[in-house]
Amino acid sequence: MPKPVVAIVGRPNVGKSTIFNRIIGERISIVEDMPGVTRDRIYGTGDWLNHTFHLIDTGGIDIGDEPLLVQIRQQAEIAIDEADVIIFVVNGRDGITSADEEIAKLLFRSKKPVVLVVNKIDNFEKRNEAYEFYSLGMGEPIPVSGSHGLGVGDMLDEVVSHFPTIDLEEYDENVICFSLIGRPNVGKSSLVNSILGRERVIVSNIAGTTRDAIDSSFEKEGQEYVIIDTAGMRKRGKVYETTEKYSVLRALRAIERSDVVLVILNAEEGIIEQDKKIAGYAHEAGRALIIVVNKWDAIEKDERTMQQFEAKIRDEFQFISYAPILFVSAHTKQRLNAILPMIQTVAENHALRVKTNVLNDVIMDAIAMNPTPTIKGKRLKINYATQVSVKPPTFVVFVNDPELLHFSYKRFLENRIRDTFGFKGTPIRIIARKKN
Ligand code: GDP
Ligand code: GDP
């Protein structure tokens, strides 16, 4: 079941990013620890009452050199297009401004559920001041103080009450869902067309409120696949479509619904920061990953070119060193037939379960080879490990004190597990738990 999307809109300085941070709390992003991957605080994940949702701070979406009002309007449009529920933030100290009215008009027309939040009501004795915002026509205004954390629970109660309740039927466990993500122009549509061009395809348009991707299912050698294609669904002509951050948003949603994510690079352009960010999201979401370098026909090559390109990718994408790399061309069809088998391989690894006794042998051998660290006079003790889930493979290691299992030792254990079981193409997770 895809997570609902909540977007925060409002003019500058009303407290959007404060509220954003308040909602996502102190979640630590795995990607943040990775050198070379900086994370912008625009997308996050929130939890409330058994609901997990994506959160977008549209105020952080850089629209470019447009006048303020145009920017605000475009941010609101993105929220309308992408979100299941919109949090509309106004400043309780300023009263209603014309920009607020402008936003209200757009939101009203969209018919999306909107939660009107009056921020900076720091003293809850003054909560009645929020009532003047009734006249925006957006329902009951909820007084909050983002910086003090007041009213945030009421706000979230209201937000989750608008989540879609229909359980969208996703695909059978055995179907491999995959998506192609990457910047505009890397060749995603061309690749999708080439892959689909060879198969008998059933196209279904998942027409949920926000799930406007095209799903194409087909079968190949007994395996069912679904391509989740957002590239083909671009709303051409919208100004914000060209902003990079917006394309990330699209990618995020496709990633969410995929087992396997193909990160498409353009051989002609090399690797940019944006590529890493997108791959980082897929990694963090726990999806299997393949790096596909497209337009391999378009560059001049000698016998070392591929090796050099690969070294560069490994250097730039250290956090997904498990991802296989394919060099292809949608134009000449070179190596396209390697894509589906590779998808199948990494999907199998993504769903792989290992035997507990073998796992524990591996862990014990690892400890014998490289003894557990001592931190502040206390030695990490590992009792045993077990695989608790798949997609991605997730291991719980029972230890004397979870604080003692640092990143570097975890990485070491991960490498030992990978050396033994493969897990090519899939992230794996290791969680330390205290053994009682
Ligand atoms: P954004 O531009 O809408 O994202 O607004 P920010 O979250 O950056 O906040 C703008 C300013 O308002 C910052 O100086 C915040 O510290 C302040 N602010 C945010 N929330 C509150 C609040 O609840 N009460 C008060 N007094 N100030 C707040
Ligand atoms: P998307 O924006 O990622 O979906 O990219 P498109 O599939 O629309 O392709 C962008 C441009 O790159 C188009 O002009 C394609 O013809 C071109 N293109 C796509 N794949 C290849 C390829 O393998 N080789 C070359 N030379 N050009 C390609």
In SS3 terms, 4-50 reads as CEEEEECCCCCCHHHHHHHHHCCCCCCHHHCCCCCCCCCEEEEEECC
Please name which ligand lies nearest the alpha carbon of 9: 1
State in Å: Cα 284 to ligand 1 middle: 29
User: Residues of the chain with pLDDT > 90: what percent?
Assistant: 57
Is 219 in a helix, a strand, or coil?
strand
Type of residue at 368 = A
Going by their DSSP bridges, the two strands 394-399 and 378-379 should be labelled as: unpaired
pTM to 2 decimals? 0.73
pLDDT-derived band at 243 (thresholds 50, 70, 90) equals low
Report the C-alpha gap between 314 and 183 in whole angstroms: 19
Handedness of CA 398, 401, 403, 408 (dihedral sign): negative
Report the C-alpha gap between 307 and 369 in whole angstroms: 32
User: Residues of the chain with pLDDT > 70: what percent?
Assistant: 86
As a whole number, mean pLDDT of residues 122-130 equals 87
**pLDDT of amino acid 401:** 93
pLDDT-derived band at 232 (thresholds 50, 70, 90) equals very low
DSSP classification of residue 270: B
Please name which ligand lies nearest the alpha carbon of 103: 1
Protein residues with CB under 6 Å of any ligand 2 atom: 182, 184-190, 231, 294-295, 297-298, 329-331
**pLDDT higher than threshold 60 for residue 208:** no
**pLDDT higher than threshold 70 for residue 207:** no
State in Å: Cα 146 to ligand 1 middle: 7
**pLDDT of amino acid 167:** 55
Supply the ipTM of this predicted assembly: 0.71
State in Å: Cα 177 to ligand 2 middle: 23
State in Å: Cα 331 to ligand 2 middle: 8
Q: What is the mean pLDDT of the chain?
A: 85
**pLDDT higher than threshold 60 for residue 288:** yes
Domains and CATH numbers, the chain: 5-162 (3.40.50.300), 176-351 (3.40.50.300), 356-434 (3.30.300.20)
The protein residue whose alpha carbon is closest to atom 25 in ligand 2 is: 295
pLDDT-derived band at 34 (thresholds 50, 70, 90) equals very low
Q: What are phi and psi of 5, to 5 degrees?
A: -115, 130
Going by their DSSP bridges, the two strands 43-48 and 85-91 should be labelled as: unpaired
Report the C-alpha gap between 349 and 326 in whole angstroms: 17
Tens digit of pLDDT for each residue in 132-190? 999 999 999 999 999 999 999 999 999 999 997 765 557 888 999 999 988 778 888 88
Q: Are 118 and 124 in contact (CB under 8 A)?
A: no
The protein residue whose alpha carbon is closest to atom 6 in ligand 1 is: 15
Report the C-alpha gap between 16 and 5 in whole angstroms: 16
State in Å: Cα 175 to ligand 2 middle: 28
Q: Which atom of ligand 2 is nearest to the CA of 328?
A: 23
Q: Which residues are annotated as a binding site?
A: 10-17, 57-61, 119-122, 182-189, 229-233, 294-297
pLDDT-derived band at 247 (thresholds 50, 70, 90) equals low
**pLDDT of amino acid 154:** 95
> If we measure between CA atoms, which residue out of 31, 339, 326, 39 comes closest to residue 179?
339
Out of 9, 71, 147, give the residue to mutate to test ligand 1, the one with the largest number of ligand atoms within 8 Å of its CB. 147
Please name which ligand lies nearest the alpha carbon of 19: 1
State in Å: Cα 9 to ligand 1 middle: 13
As a whole number, mean pLDDT of residues 298-312 equals 94
Report whether residue 4 contacts ligand 1, using a CB cutoff of 6 Å. Answer: no
Please name which ligand lies nearest the alpha carbon of 296: 2
> If we measure between CA atoms, which residue out of 101, 42, 115, 41 comes closest to residue 73?
101
**pLDDT of amino acid 306:** 94
